[in-house]
Structure 1
Amino acid sequence: MSKVSCEIIKDMLPLYYDGVCSDDSKRMVEEHLSKCNACKIELEKIQDDIHIPEKTIMKNRKDSNVLKNISTSWNRLRLKSFIKGGLISTLLIASIILIYVGLFKWDIKSVSTDVAVISDISETEDGYIIFYSEINDGYRLSRLKYDMDREGNFYVIPLRTIIKEEAQPPYGLEKFYNFIDIKDQELLRGKEVKTIYYGTPKDKILIWQKGMELPKTSEEVKKQFGLN
């Protein structure tokens, strides 16, 4: 067999490495490699060029998985932080709203009878108890609560918010005539009304009790309620 040049062998080395050359070509390449170190080095380069990318691919896959895991963990932490932040913000806003309502809108604080004056108490022919109430501390009343205990004690309870507001004319509940329809209240509550108080069970002013004789209501006052 005539001597084959290194250039031809180098061209055939990739085919030889992949095992796709003919048997004759294989024997020719191997015979040349047994005598030529330069071509052996070229074959080794081909082997390294092929193996190195495989190692790189594996490393890249590993690095990619690590980055993917880091990204997944980060996204989970971000989601948890977002949910936690949302819950905290919601609770904070709800707390602020509740505090605001409790202080400025919720009528829960009863007014001391020390600043209350009850006058002009009278009774109509139909059993209405009418009286004039005045709160003289200069602050607004929000509403009147009507309550009754088991013993037949009826309470007219003046209420205001915790943060007091100044009363402005024309005055409403701070200075006005009010009436209690005893028969209607007894029918509504299913028990006899024995006394009527302005205030709470622990802080009260007596307005009327059963058997008490009261002056008859004037025509002028009855006219305010459309009772004449």
Structure 2
Amino acid sequence: MKEINCNIIKDILPLYVDGVVSDDTKEMVEEHLEHCEECKKEVGLMNQELYIPAEKEVSIIKNFKSKWRKKKFIISVVSILLTGLILFGTFAFIFHYDRVVPYEESLIKIETQDNDILVSHYYGVDYYSVSATHPQTLKIDGKEKNVIFLYYTETIANSPSKRLINRKENRDERDFIFPLGKKENVDAIYYVESDTRKIFNNGNDWSTLLEDAILIWRK
């Protein structure tokens, strides 16, 4: 038989090793291998199996599982923290982000109780907080007057910390009455639809509030 070139045999060797060649081709390759040490070595290399010791294989699997568990734990912790932050932020915004209640005559009334104590009576369903200043001495129309600034705030939902009840039959009116001081010490009460805390950033100049304040009571 005519000698077959090694390059041709090497092209066929992978198919020969896998056992997918015809009988004639197989016979041809085997005859060549009897006389060609180089091609015989190629077949030997192809027949070698990748061997991983059992102990090393178990170690690799354990290491992979350990890393995967750690990764899952970290992902779980991060997910829980993010969920908690989102829920806390939503809760804080709904229940504790307050805004000033717009004034309505039927909503807020200044009344006089026993011992000539002035009080602010809130007739709305609920509110979050009420703030009032001590009497501030301001010059109004050329005269010095003792003035109180007052405002109420509300949240998107009822505050769980204020025990505010929507049902009228359960309403405790004392929760809606806020004392302001002796009537004799107050000349006027103004409702402001802005946070009075900004006054402290303006040198405690309370007169600036009068421009937009609403007079709701005067002596």
**TM-score, normalised via structure 1 length:** 0.42
**TM-score, normalised via structure 2 length:** 0.43
Larger radius of gyration: 1
